[in-house]
Amino acid sequence: MAAARGRYVADRGLTSRMVVTMFLIGLLYVVLVGALIAAMSNVWPLIVIAVGGLFIAQFWFSDRIAAFSMGAREVTPEQAPELHGAVDRLCALADVPKPKVAMANSDVPNAFATGRSQRNAMVCATTGLMRRLEPEEVEGVLSHELSHVAHRDVAVMTIASFLGVLAGILTRVALWGGLSGAGRNDQSGVGIILLVIPLVSVFVYIVSFLLTRLLSRYRELSADRAGALLTGRPSALASALTKVTGQMARIPTRDLRKAEPFNAFFFAPAFSGETVATLLSSHPPLERRLEQLSRISAELGKQ
């Protein structure tokens, strides 16, 4: 599932982390569903159907929803010749199928990849990114994004993030039910149910959030490494990272806030300065990414 495709280098560290993350997420999934069934045993078939339906919907439609929410619009080679040309060259170099190519009309300089598999994968760049970066820097960014597709960690992150979304929904529903039921007499253990479900949901949400954040940070480093080794120009990727991160401070705060919910997909997180959110970022610090690229550049120079 997690093996690299084409000429992108394999990353056993990423593979093992994805396997462990999926195993632990599965255990949390069992805990959450078990708590729901124990609390509402009289309607357990409905719980199984509802949770299963949400999982299928999240897995099947999450990439389309994310792409739509970020304004991604599939473009033809005639509409975006530079973007298509870069993707064509990288796919030929990596020996991987060409994904759908899209652009988002946004001044936030960024790029992202979505898709459950290589067959329905999409790579998108914003107009802000294409306007600000040089061609070799754009190729560095796109090589990074294509490595996410090749390693299939986009699909794993989609599945892994589902549990946190579900736990968050259950917490809000249970708390809302508790507030709306305040003042009513406790009947048939309703009070206990309204207490247990939020507690279990909060626990599941916190653990799943931490697991996905740890995986996400490593997969970004892995994509930097794979992308730089494929093109043989880690300096171009480092330059793109520096430019994109530096330009974030010049983007209006309202635009950054719109983009922040999708940071896990982005090439670089959309943050305006140092905030508490950066401590829980889905990406490793810029300094660490640049340090790794510098080491790769030194290694390639010795060959």
Q: Is residue 3 domain-resident?
A: no
pLDDT in tens, 112-136: 998 877 788 899 999 999 999 999 9
Q: Which residues are annotated as catalytic?
A: 145
Q: Is residue 57 domain-resident?
A: yes
Q: Is residue 181 domain-resident?
A: yes
Q: Is residue 1 domain-resident?
A: no
DSSP reduced 3-state for 154: helix
148 annotated to a ligand binding site: yes
Q: Is residue 4 domain-resident?
A: no
In which residue are the tokens 């983007």 written?
251
pLDDT in tens, 178-234: 544 544 444 545 556 666 777 777 888 888 888 888 899 999 999 999 999 999 999
Q: Is residue 2 domain-resident?
A: no
In which residue are the tokens 């490595």 written?
147
Tell me which residue range forms the domain holding 44: 10-302
- Contact between 159 and 59 under an 8 Å Cβ cutoff? The reply is yes
| Range from 37-46, 206-215, 230-239 carrying the lowest mean pLDDT | 37-46
d(CA 247, CA 240): 10
Domain count for the chain, please give it.
1
- Give the CA count within 13 Å in the CB-facing half-sphere of 239: 14
Q: Is residue 119 domain-resident?
A: yes
299 annotated to a ligand binding site: no
Q: Which two tokens stand for residue 195?
A: 């207490």
**Strands ordered across the beta sheet of 122-126:** 72-74, 100-104, 122-126, 111-114
84 annotated to a ligand binding site: no
Q: pTM of this prediction?
A: 0.83
Q: What angle do CA 18, 19, 25 make, to 5 degrees?
A: 85
Beta strands in the chain (DSSP E): 72-74, 100-104, 111-114, 122-126
Q: Is residue 218 domain-resident?
A: yes
